Amino acid sequence: MTPFTIVALCLILVRYCFELWLDALNAAHVREHANEVPEAFREVMDEATYKKSVHYTLAKAKFGTASDSYSTAVLCALLFSGWLASLFGQVTNWTGETPWGLALALWTVILLMSLLSLPFSWWSQFRLEERFGFNNSTRRTWWTDQVKGVVLSFAIGVPLLALILWLVDVSGDHWWLWAWGVVVVFQLLMSVLAPIFILPLFNKFTPLPDGALKDRLSGLANRTGFINAGIQVMDGSKRSKHSNAFFTGLGKGRKIALFDTLVEQLNEGELEAVLAHEIGHYKLRHVPKMIAWSFATTLIGFWGLSLLEGQPLFAGAFGFNSHTGIAPVFLLFGLLAGTVTFWLSPLSSLWSRKFEYEADAFASGAIGESKPMITALRKLNRENLSNLTPHPWYSGFHYDHPALLEREAALKAAEPSDLHS
């Protein structure tokens, strides 16, 4: 093995072993509280629902460990046996080595690798989620989603990759800055266009029907300055009984979507609180801040790619031919980057949780009390069988939202009069 392959193997195995330790730590922590509902949650769940949530959490953990073990084994086999380099070479013999040909080759190899994980995706939907009563998807819907995803990735991903590979050829040593600029423009366009053109390919979005709920939510939107943006109901129940709400998009593409399951589960006051929370993300400019963070990390990523491009032995260490240029470096970087960014996930999660606290506080101030938000959060955790007792280390790496008790404590501690000047 070469120094590059040794480092890659160590990165993969250290992350994998740490994930196993985190999963075991969290599972043990959940089991410690499994025998009876902790006192702090007795107003949230009855004993039967709480035990079901414990079983659901442990089942997901077991499935996650199996899936991660499989993915790690496949990745190691492809990287260190030479199979990945051989596959890429065979595909490039068919596609050619122009920017378009290499882009198509990268897309094809990534597609073939993704097919290896399809059985786990299917099992998650039709075994795990079905077992706990969440699955509403049909096999036809599931397969249709997979096909749509492949078509979109081809239509969008291949031209973008081809443009970046062309810039590598024509832009000299600073190609990575030009490539980063292209990706920035692409991300901004997608922020505007995806809610309008892509999300409706998978889900149906409908305006709130006329009535008391629409009047109440429209009044809140007007009071908080959320004008000229859509508040729509999404048919989430087509695939799952899980409930949620989200804010997405920029400019004319921005919208707040409420799952139809959420509308069924919450009363009007609680839905108003959830909407106020999502409006808070907009008013506090959380989406632009997250996009800016994405721009910064993308810039660092392209800089890292430029450094690896300058290491002629890097791709060769994994069996790739040098005549295919930077394309194998792109592929290897994409496969290995997660072993590094994983260790930064607590920082991004901490920032995300800060945004959630701020949006909660905004909602409490907009409504004038914290109770509707608290009861909405309790119902969401109950209906989704959320893990109420995650281990702090596990939640630090995997939770981008604060745990229920943490959000309740913050809401109760902040009086509405203190939230806005």
Residue 129 neighbours by CB under 8 Å, 6+ apart: 135, 240
Q: Alpha-carbon distance 340 to 397, whole Å?
A: 13
d(CA 40, CA 117): 39
Task: Taking the CA atoms of 9, 12, 17 and 20 in sequence, report the sign of the dihedral they define.
Answer: negative
Cα–Cα distances (Å) from 192 to 197, 259, 282, 293, 342, in that order, read: 9, 21, 14, 18, 28
Task: Report the alpha-carbon distance of residue 292 to residue 288 in Å, rounded.
Answer: 6
CA distance 69 to 77: 12
Q: Which of 129, 360, 383, 408 is catalytic?
A: 360
- Check: CB of residue 237 under 8 Å from CB of residue 259: yes
Of 412, 413, 390, which is closest to residue 402 (Cα–Cα)? 390
| Residue 383 a catalytic site member | no
Catalytic residue among 23, 270, 272, 278: 278
Known active-site residue 278: yes
How far is C-alpha 186 from the chain's CA centre?
Answer: 18
Residues noted as catalytic: 278, 360
